[in-house]
Structure 1
């Protein structure tokens, strides 16, 4: 038997014939400890116009596990023509995502072993026969982590597996493991920061499951401040707890259950008899999970903080997408620094969260302001205070019907231009604004409302009919409601996976609130074609994207009065002055005046600023007959770091192509060498090149070959029709039989109409006009002499199409 020629083997062959045998020989179990082709990311979505494409991502060749919950090592393979350590840097990237200290790279000759647990020799070369055993790596890993004997049963407890193949994503697994490790080490105050849409509740469930199954925690309380959050959790992610779980209702805590889900409001209130949490001893719960902990429970003087303080002996884990850091409210002061953070930026880069485009709409009265005439009265006969009303006033202290109508019509026009059934959330200033917006949208969409009167619904805290439709709105299988107008109720915790349009007609200065609202659109649902979403901004709220803290770690903000600046004993290292007493942090990033803080599930009320001479609310004026118009409407794209993308898609494509092909000759050589051109087209689509978007910028009917030559190398492009005609002029078909000539001529027409994919697809000849020529067998066998000859003819046809003898290249 002749020896194997390693140099001729593919990467897959190297894995199969050399690496897996070496790993299994070292004692690794193929069923539970070895996983191949582990896909860690989904691939970033690139959006231009109405088109989107996912970037292709590579998978880790092999990941080794101690248990499914604990990855230990990454093995990255390369073909033998490469140096043994060629794949090491790629492996280190996967190891970072998995948070593992061991990386092996190999070309089949041996391994380069990168060992973070050995700082004296980070990298060494070992033979195939010397691959470490599971016990060796686990011992090194445990020592590296500093696990004690008492920690081991907890940290090695498996996560819940329902047998469906679903497992935690890499960042969820990191969050779960780091939290479980912290609890096992005796840390009782833990903060997890994960962007909206990244599965905080699923992560919380797996944390509880592992601690509960390991008997490290016996009674658990999951706390939230909105009923929808508790119900979604109970029905969905927490369902496996089954009979061990209950929702606390009627202010009764039943000790027969082990997992308790509760609203703060069900456990406490201003009256002593409402403080249901006191029914049980302070040590009753040993684990408390606080959902959306940036809200009420974070404030020291909150009525809800008393629950956490009563059960102070319990381990308390705070979950949030937006940790709140102000002088009055600090998650970090209470919980400590986050044990793990996964940001919106990371989620979009990885392809787990949807990117967004922004349509900014400027309205003339917003930019220029509006002033009443002398003695002018509003619709209710109230004389209007004489001053200039601007964007911050509209729909708070001043309602202009024509402005509401213009916003509603703009929303409607956008949906008609894109998708009239796209789930849409319109964020308004208060519930009365939400009701007016609902009416305006109903009138603008009379045809849709005639089909179903739930096309537009107001979903606010005061509206039982609207709230009853919330589940239908967030259910992808339910078509209606399509448009939801709201103010506060839907800012957080509403899992609207298929929301494609987020409308901002609300004054938003709070970074916390802004990120929560943006989070309503960031979920991806491939099954329903939701890969990206649009933000339609009427109030310049998206200027917050430019804030350097948009997706960063929150900083502590100190609020003070001007007089305090001169106080040498104030103890402030940094003072951010709020001289106009407008509740802003000196940088314009806190709750706008007149809005409730987010200490509760409030969505009610007509919030206005200040007070009149008698201590009552400022009157909200309501006028009509004002001429209102759009000054500008422009589309903007933001990258994952919140920076405005100024390059055109053509520029993006040129930059991407220059990384793929060194020169025009390099591209043509690779194109001609490819057996099927669609392979290259698909690979480039995997890099985020959207051919439809390019066509919009460059021109329609241009072949990807010419598109690349033109965009990347400044060559004059030919259309597909011109290329097809050039082939026909050369009498190219004469060497084939009459039937074959007819088939190739029709394939050339197909190419001119739709592109090279139709030429390469064998199924193309199974439909008209080819069925008029003959059956598939008659065409292939009779016309060309067989399948091999047919495939060769297709290859030669493509060579003729892309011949460089014409002006194309």
Structure 2
């Protein structure tokens, strides 16, 4: 199987981390972008290089079977299972696929020597901090570890880095859509006011039982809205409880849908899933069963009736509809986004899939809502994100201009770092710390060096951001480009693009202005001046 470019990059990045001594590394790869393919390829390369043995660890039967199927398809390696009645203790298989629930049993775990495995792959690695995973990982503590997960939010990433040494590679859902490896993502706001303001929050998310009670009065209206948009699509519906999932499925069938419900107790679960995939049904309803380990590329519509505050969970849910399926005529993936009424903050909506921060998310949400109010049209989330980025950059520039205007009379000794990075067309806003040290406060040496470059370090809050800014300053000094102080001075006289000038060019212009009693020579128009054109 020929790997995609980003899959090759991910593979190389993981081995680089191991070679650099970071034995526990994390691969963050969006749902639908083939992370199982990547770690199967990594397992094969590792075994070829090390001549060792590998354990693939997961917590659900669907994930275990998926790993087995993909490993054989990609590499030809036939693994053995360590789960329930199956054991690989006496097997000479190079790869064991193990259930974490099985291996946490002392009898099953102790049957293996502590050095049984040279590599452990943790699928859905956001679960790895749990006591069960840590017991298994701690037992085989001499092995290299690769954690694989879909894109988490910043808090999840920080938590996982309490165990993992580094993030080897990250490929986001947004990048997958941009590169054409995931379906174009659209959102349509359904202005149905569903009041969940009274729903309790426990462990950081909404209580499922309360959500079920809050949803029940709206099910008839939701089903009616779905008849407008879902009849010609293949739709997955997520519900908070099995009972309400079953009753909603029955309701959809009365509306003309061919709906099927599936849950953990369904004896014919595999048959129902296959029938949906084959087209016998056009809606599948579930109570969070299909969040992980379920792939049906032809599904192209999501109705999420399990509102959540967890970006990681919401990302997993949306990921179910993003796989490509050109052979079935799939053109895009549509999220029907209901107007949840809640006083609680951080409710995840389609914007959180692509937004880098709350400001971007707010802009995207406004676009989706305005489109619904005007013409009931869906909004391409990627287009909305790009427009939000442009709007926010413009607003920040305007805000900065006002701030600089207000402070024009102040003769600050140091240059504001935000003003500097805007002037040189660099951007620190998209920087996200990944390694542990990057989250630390800037060191005294870094602060002193920033001041030496005439940069005010007060707003540089992390060691990683300080490192990135110092790298930019050092590079510019090495290349002989204009300094922060030169840029600020000449911009005050109305010159533009001074960040692209050399230090010598900027110095010569400052000398001319100083020699002219600190006035711009009359034959120079600052806004039109470019040293390259003189």
TM-score (normalised: structure 1): 0.41
1:433 is the counterpart of 2:433 = no
Partner of 1:466: 269
Q: Higher mean Cα deviation, 423-432 or 458-467?
A: 458-467
How far did residue 365 of structure 1 move?
5.4
Cα contact 2:355–2:385 (8 A) shared by 1? no
Partner of 1:643: 385
Partner of 2:234: 423
| 1:562-603 alpha-carbon deviations (Å, 9 max, x no partner) | xxxxxxxxxxxxxxxxxxxxxxxxx9xxxxxxxxxxxxxxxx
Partner of 2:399: none
Structure 2: distance between partners of 1:192 and 1:322: 9
Which one scores higher on RCO, CA 8 angstroms, separation ≥ 6? 2
Cα contact 2:246–2:261 (8 A) shared by 1? yes
Cα contact 1:461–1:467 (8 A) shared by 2? no
Partner of 2:430: none
Partner of 1:283: 115
Cα contact 1:636–1:645 (8 A) shared by 2? no
Structure 1: distance between partners of 2:81 and 2:380: 41
Structure 1: distance between partners of 2:69 and 2:274: 12
Partner of 1:266: 102
| 1:382-403 alpha-carbon deviations (Å, 9 max, x no partner) | xxxxxxxxx9999636256552
Structure 2: distance between partners of 1:436 and 1:632: 33
Gaps of 5+ in 2: 200-205, 341-345, 363-371, 389-534
Q: 1:346 aligns with which of 165, 168, 175?
A: 175
How far did residue 228 of structure 1 move?
1.0
1:536 is the counterpart of 2:336 = yes
Structure 1: distance between partners of 2:77 and 2:99: 20
| 3-state SS in 2 of match to 1:340 | strand
Partner of 1:60: none
Cα contact 1:460–1:467 (8 A) shared by 2? no
| 3-state SS in 2 of match to 1:535 | strand
Please list, as runs of the form range in 1=range in 2, the aligned pairs for 1:286-435 lying within 5 A after superposition. 286-295=118-127, 297-299=128-130, 302-323=131-152, 326=155, 330-364=159-193, 366=195, 396=211, 398=213, 401-416=216-231, 419=232, 422-435=233-246
How far did residue 544 of structure 1 move?
3.5
| 3-state SS in 2 of match to 1:294 | helix
Structure 1: distance between partners of 2:156 and 2:297: 34
CA separation of 1:352 and 1:504: change in aligned 2, threshold 3 A: same
How far did residue 303 of structure 1 move?
2.0
1:224 is the counterpart of 2:58 = yes
| 3-state SS in 2 of match to 1:238 | helix
Cα contact 1:638–1:645 (8 A) shared by 2? no
Partner of 1:78: none
Partner of 1:40: none
How far did residue 170 of structure 1 move?
0.7
Cα contact 2:27–2:168 (8 A) shared by 1? yes
Cα contact 2:68–2:78 (8 A) shared by 1? no
| 3-state SS in 2 of match to 1:333 | coil
TM-score (normalised: structure 2): 0.61
| 1:243-272 alpha-carbon deviations (Å, 9 max, x no partner) | 641122326233321111122122224xx4
Q: Which has the larger radius of gyration?
A: 1
Partner of 2:314: 514
Please list, as runs of the form range in 1=range in 2, the aligned pairs for 1:58-73 lying within 5 A after superposition. none
How far did residue 522 of structure 1 move?
1.2
Partner of 1:490: 290
Cα contact 1:457–1:466 (8 A) shared by 2? no
Gaps of 5+ in 1: 1-165, 371-390, 449-454, 555-586, 588-629, 647-809
Structure 2: distance between partners of 1:553 and 1:332: 21
CA separation of 1:456 and 1:495: change in aligned 2, threshold 3 A: same
How far did residue 534 of structure 1 move?
0.6
CA separation of 1:506 and 1:222: change in aligned 2, threshold 3 A: same
